[in-house]
Amino acid sequence: MTVLFLAHTECDGTLAKVSLETLTAAKALADGMGAELAVGLVGADVAAAADSIAACGGTFFAVTGPAYNEGLYSTDIAAAEAIAKACSAEIVVAPATSRYSRALPGLAIRLGGRVDTHLSGLNVVDGKPVAKRWFYRQRMEGSFTRDERPWVLTLDAGCAGAFSGAGSADVTAVDADISGVRTRPEGMICVSEDEQTIRPDAEILLVTGAGWTKKQADGEVHVAEAEDSILRFLSATKSSLGSSKSLVDISGEGGAVISFLTHMHQVGQTGATPRHAKGLSTCCHGEEPHVVGWRFINERRAINTDAGCGWAQGKCDVLYVGDAFAIMKKVNELLG
């Protein structure tokens, strides 16, 4: 029996952290089931990536060439299919990157198998593979298995330690059939670190609330100053940016908006539930529908002019009662 760990390289030819984490989980699954581990890599040139994980003990397969750098659905699925068939994979474990979240459900169809996505862990129980995932917006974690094969699984970030173990990998080249692919990519632009403000791996979550766009003590709104202060903090600390629902909704209501916020930033009951070691809330009231999104934020701090705000009701570890404009200005000065 073969467990295939499948990954694509990033723009710079390396493997993403989530891919290294997924390798740890795939290797433990193969070891626990007494199965062979196969490693399938896809990209323009995977030699460096293969060497970076050579010590995992798997048999390496790769589909390479310029066409596989761009992450098209059609080329990704063709490459994945060719590798899965080359090693007769019964279980395929891949990272839940945007590329593979899009392509691998289709792989399961092509192989006549089943797929489960966004898993939070893999286990072996009585020799059988068992997958774990969250249900009901991360309130319950469930375990399940399937008898159908091939079983294609994608693992979310942060659910295993990143594999490390470099060496010299012996890679078998596999050909994929992309003769029927009609889409021609014009090129690829990788988002720079400063443009990408949702950073799941960041230590700190900075949450912005509607207060940033409200009239302040002088009777004026100061949105430009707010944007500058928020961006300076993000740039200096590489924190992840989150928002209250009120602030991301303001654009639809014609109010002054923070230009770089989208609904993807919303934290809370109807938003995201991110995981970070620390969180700092600014100009956000801390109402329950927002704070439920902080379930996995370990140390919580908030800045609010109102000493009776929601955060003060036992929802944060430290509440700074003060003006976030002044406090964040000082914090940014200290950060340099």
Count CA atoms closer than 13 A to 243's CA, side-chain side. Answer: 24
Check residue 247 for interaction with ligand FAD (CB under 6 A): yes
Task: List the x/- string, 107-146, binding to ligand FAD by CB under 6 A.
Answer: ----------------------------------------
Which of 296, 305, 312, 329 contacts ligand FAD by CB under 6 A? Answer: 305
Residue 289 binds ligand FAD, judged by CB under 6 A: yes
| Distance in Å, CB of 293 to ligand FAD, minimum | 6
The answer to whether residue 303 forms part of the interface with ligand FAD (CB under 6 A) is yes
| Residue choice 209, 230, 233, 234 for contact with ligand FAD (CB under 6 A) | 209
**CB nearer ligand FAD, residue 37 or residue 283:** 283
Decide: 130 and 151 in contact? Cβ < 8 Å: no
SS3 12: coil
* Angle at 285 (CA atoms; ends 284, 289), nearest 5 degrees: 100
Specify the DSSP element, H or E, that contains 213: none
Comparing CB distances to ligand FAD, the nearer of 239 and 266 is: 266
Least Cβ distance, residue 194 to ligand FAD (angstroms): 24
State how far the Cα of 128 lies from the Cα of 3, in Å rounded to an integer. Answer: 12
202: contact with ligand FAD by CB under 6 A = no
What are the phi and psi torsion angles at 272 (to 5°)? -90, 165
Q: Does 304 bind ligand FAD (CB under 6 A)?
A: yes
Alpha helices in 119-268 (DSSP H): 223-237, 245-249
Q: Does residue 211 touch ligand FAD according to CB under 6 A?
A: yes
Q: Nearest-CA neighbor of 64 among 101, 21, 13, 112?
A: 13
Q: Which of 304, 18, 312 is nearest to 157 (CA)?
A: 18
Smaller CB distance to ligand FAD: residue 79 or 309?
A: 309
DSSP of 99-127, one letter per residue?
HHHHHHHHHHHHHT-EEEEEE-EEEEETT
> Coil, helix or strand for 50?
helix
Closest CB 300 distance from ligand FAD, rounded Å: 14
Does the footprint of ligand FAD cover residue 193 (CB under 6 A)?
Answer: no
Which single residue is written with the structure tokens 């740890």?
Answer: 24
A 10 A CB-CB count for 10 gives 18
Which of these segments, 129-137, 163-171, 182-190, 242-250, binds ligand FAD (CB under 6 A)? 242-250
324 near ligand FAD, judged by CB under 6 A: yes
Which spans of this chain sit near ligand FAD (rule: CB under 6 A)?
209-211, 214, 216, 244-247, 266-271, 283-285, 287, 289-290, 293, 303-306, 309, 323-325
